[in-house]
Amino acid sequence: MLRIKDLVKRYGKDEAVLKDLNLEVPGESVVAIIGASGAGKSTLLRCINRLVEPTSGSIDLNGTELTTLSGGELRLARRRIGMIFQGFNLINRLTVMENVLSGRLGYVPTWRAMTRNFPQSDIDRAFQLMERVGIAHYANKRADELSGGERQRVGVVRALMQEPEILLADEPTASLDPKTSRQIMELLRALASELHLPVLINIHNVTEAKEYTQRIVGMRFGRIIFDSVPTDLTQDAMDEIYAGVPAEERGETGDPESLREVVSQ
């Protein structure tokens, strides 16, 4: 369970990016965060894993207060938070297996990390997960030889190698074509169920959010103004979340049935 209470993030003397934000994410759930650019979506995710330092408030992950940790305690806590990035964040010159095994860096001694001498149990787990997402046959291929969808699957497996208690995905489909985007969203939904993981996804594509997640959180100017099931995301709610944003920039790409036909072709 992730519990966020009264979270504030302010840069210098500027207006707060996050304003007294409260959110709970239970286990085995897939939650989408939507909102216009500047709403605070990415900042929220980066506060959770402390890539951005919160100004005040509480972030509790399964009984551990993340905002008070530092040094070794923070490094240990970060092992429990898997992060999937829009830009993949792979090391291009390394193989798929080497990139995947980097998810174990927080668990092995420095000498093993430097020599890439990982335990056989880690290698076996990497193959198992790569087989699950359909990239095991690329194990010895360089990361820069893969397509965008394949690279994102590597990023997903790398995050899972951390044995995380929560997955955070920051615009995981923004760099992908529509068909591949939907495949990645389907994969995240399936993994949340199979591994009993909460998944929190910052996503621009509202249509995908409505089809592949169980709950949608709408943000505007650093506050949560909508929090409900996808069927409750009416046009009025959309207009409030995206007030002033042109329709073509709201991430609505058509009805799910028509998109499903595209994917099946």
φ and ψ of 27, to 5 deg: -65, 155
Confidence band, pLDDT 50/70/90 cuts, at residue 260 = very low
pLDDT in tens, 237-259: 999 999 877 766 666 655 444 33
Q: How far apart are CA 59 and CA 24, in angstroms?
A: 10
- Residue 58 has a pLDDT of 97
Q: Using an 8 Å Cβ cutoff, are 242 and 221 in contact? A: no
Structure tokens at 58: 């509480």
Provide the residue ranges of all domains of the chain, joining segments of one domain with +.
Answer: 2-80+168-264, 93-163
Q: What is the mean pLDDT of the chain?
A: 89
- At residue 108 the predicted structure's pLDDT band, cuts being 50, 70 and 90, is confident
Q: What is the pLDDT of residue 223?
A: 96
CA distance 135 to 108: 24
Pairing between strand 56-61 and 64-65? antiparallel
Contact predicate 162/80, CB 8 Å: yes
pTM of the model: 0.88
The yes-or-no verdict on residue 41 having pLDDT over 50 is yes
Contact 92, 102 (CB under 8 A): no
Q: What is the pLDDT of residues 76-88, one digit of tens each?
A: 999 999 999 988 8
pLDDT at 46 over 50: yes
Q: Cα dist. 15→8, 11, 38, 87, 172 in Å? A: 10, 8, 12, 28, 28
Domain 2-80+168-264, what architecture? Answer: 3-Layer(aba) Sandwich (3.40)
pLDDT at 261: 35
Sequential DSSP letters for 2-59 = EEEEEEEE--TTSPPSEEEEEEEE-TT-EEEEE--TTSSHHHHHHHHTTSS--SEEEE
- For residue 176 the two structure tokens come to 């992908």
